[in-house]
Amino acid sequence: MSRPSRPQPSEGKRPRRIDPLRLLLPALVFLAGIGAWEGYVRAAAVPPYILPAPSLIARTMVADWTLLWGSLLTTLTTTILGLGLAVVGGVALAVLLSLSRIVEYSLYPFAVVLQVTPVIAIAPLLLIYMPQDAAVLACAWLVAFFPVLSNTMLGLQSVDRNLLELFDLYGTSPSQTVRSRLRSRLKALWILRRPAALPPFLAGLRIAGGLSLIGAVVAEMAAGSAGAGSGLAYRIIESQYRLNIPRLFAALVLLALTGVALFLLLSALSHLALRRWHESALSSET
Amino acid sequence: MQEPPATLLRLQGVSKVFANGVTALRDLGFEIRTGEFLSLVGPSGCGKSTALRLIAGIAKPTSGTVEWAGAEATDHRSEIGFVFQEPTLMPWANVADNVWLPLRLRGVSRRDAMKRIHESLALVGLDDFAEAYPRELSGGMKMRVSIARALSLRPRLLLMDEPFGALDEITRFRLNDDLLRLKRDLGCTVVFVTHSIYESAYLSTRILVMSPRPGRVIAEIPGAASAPRDADFRTSVGYAELCGTVSKALAASATGDAA
């Protein structure tokens, strides 16, 4: 019988070439924006406590680096720890909910309530009941938790129905005790649902990364207005009180860079994990 | 010279009512004989696929029985291969791991299964593709992998649910011939659901025509005698007559239902 020919080895493994314009154009727009800002501040002689020039912000960044670096580390630790706990909790709960309908019906509505309540409203409460560090962490965890939970659940449920039937055909043992049912569900979870859930989980992780940072910032601000704290958001509040606007901007720049770095890191992770098989990780040329 | 082939499996008075109240099958009864190529032909929605699922044991009949002849063993699942309408491959796993799935579910380790995986892939002409991922394959090749997976347990009974419906005609003809060769080599029994009259006439040793929903068997047509199936057969008078017979039976089923 005729054999189909072997696929080209290069197919799908071609190094992705990025159009240089896609890097050049945003860089140009960015530089133009900074230039216009600098020019305007100088020409109109805007005082630095209203709008500092980019050059002054850069100088402040260097001058206050020790202080800002310490704050950055604090916020980063909270963000990453919050994200990590959200992943552990979100995935664990999603698996639990997917294994048992009873658990799903009893708990899922509360997860939604937790999500739709604006977390900034919870932050002051958390600060009453917990030490400040723990409250900030809890806040970051709370906002990052839901996207992980809901996306993982979606993924666990999105297995091809025919594959599950195949699983029923070959996998389940004919005895229908609770124990054997649980065992076959765990088997399906591992062989079918876990890989199927990976792409939505990673998408959720990317969202959760950004949200975890937001949660940390919100909680730090709530804590900061009470006059305590050491993270970047606290520096922002403090700088505002002291009219040290250049430092406020410097802290803001660091926060933005943190968000970008987090996003790029999680995107790279997602690409690495999915590049062999998932559409989202394939270049459009193939 | 031949004694009539033994019955492998028998459906008696089978009805299936879905949870939403739709009666898919009513009083369906037929037998599957060892070694035959049995086609179920009928209009779409007549319950052909449901019948196949009942035979596989994936679904349970509302009433009636699906009985394996002979042995009293209740677990026949390792004797069944199932091929769906779509290839239904795991996109995250390469071809070898996809073919491994039924063996894996029966508790065979990847190492022990490797020989069988490669044999199965060789049967469908894809042994060079063990490391490829489904997205790298054409539609016809994916279907071959799906067939290799169904064959990995060396089933006595191969159930196929419109497996070639989504393929172009050239690929379809080639897979038809491959399927007949596989059946001959492996000596398994095939139950083949299709809505293509031509496909059923080409492949089958026996054709069952089903009525629109609720489905039951309204005609049994013997397939062409053991003429070799090739391009000549496709243009032969016997083949054309057989297609005509099946076609008329189908038309009669439609009008009979309307009356």
Of B156, B160, B142, B256, residue with least CA distance to B209: B256
CATH of residue A189's domain is: 1.10.3720.10
pLDDT in tens, B162-176: 999 888 888 999 899
Q: Which of residues 125-164 of B touch A (CB under 8 A)?
A: 125-126, 128-129, 132-138, 140-141, 153
Q: Do A171 and B105 touch (CB under 8 A)?
A: yes
Q: Is residue B225 part of a domain?
A: yes
| Cβ-defined contact of B136 to A11 (cutoff 8 Å) | yes
Q: Report the number of distinct structural domains present in chain A.
A: 1
Query: ipTM value of the model?
Result: 0.83
Assess whether pLDDT exceeds 80 at residue B190: yes
Q: In degrees rounded to 5, what are phi and psi of residue B208?
A: -110, 125
- Is residue A58 situated within a structural domain? no
Please name the residue of chain B whose CA is at the shortest distance from the CA of residue A286: B136
SS (H, E, C) A122-179: HHHHHHHHCCHHHHHHHHHHHHHHHHHHHHHHHHHHCCCHHHHHHHHHHCCCCCCCHH
- Contact A159/B at CB under 8 A: no
Task: Determine, for residues A166 and B88 on separate chains, whether the beta-carbon distance falls below 8 Å.
Answer: yes
pLDDT score for B211: 87
Q: Is the pLDDT of residue B142 over 80?
A: yes
CA–CA distance, A138 with A221 (Å, rounded to integer): 14
For range A256-280, the mean pLDDT: 90
Provide the residue range defining the domain that includes A170.
67-273
Q: Do the strands B23-33 and B7-17 form a parallel or antiparallel pair, or are they unpaired?
A: antiparallel
Per-residue confidence band for A8, with pLDDT thresholds at 50, 70 and 90 = very low
Look at residue B2 and tell me if it is in a domain: no
- Provide the pLDDT for residue B78: 79
Whether the predicted pLDDT of A1 surpasses 70: no
* Total number of domains in chain B: 1
Evaluate whether residue A124 is within a structural domain: yes
Q: Is the pLDDT of residue A17 over 70?
A: no
Could you report the per-residue pLDDT of B24-62, keeping only the tens digit for each? 888 899 999 998 999 999 888 788 889 999 998 888 899
Residue B15 within a domain: yes
CATH of the domain at B237: 3.40.50.300
The number of C-alpha atoms within 13 Å of B140 and in the hemisphere containing its C-beta is: 19
d(CA A92, CA A170): 27
Dist CA B215 CA B48 (whole Å): 8
**Count of beta carbons in the 10 Å neighbourhood of residue B94:** 20
CB contact under 8 A, B105 and A6: no
Q: With respect to residue A4, please indicate whether it lies within any of the assigned structural domains.
A: no
> What range does the domain containing B172 cover?
9-258
User: What average pLDDT does this structure show over A221-234?
Assistant: 79
Whether cis (ω within 30° of 0) applies to the bond prior to A52 is no
**Any CB–CB contact under 8 A between B66 and chain A?**
no
Please, what is the average pLDDT of chain B?
Answer: 87
Report yes or no on B68 lying in a domain. yes
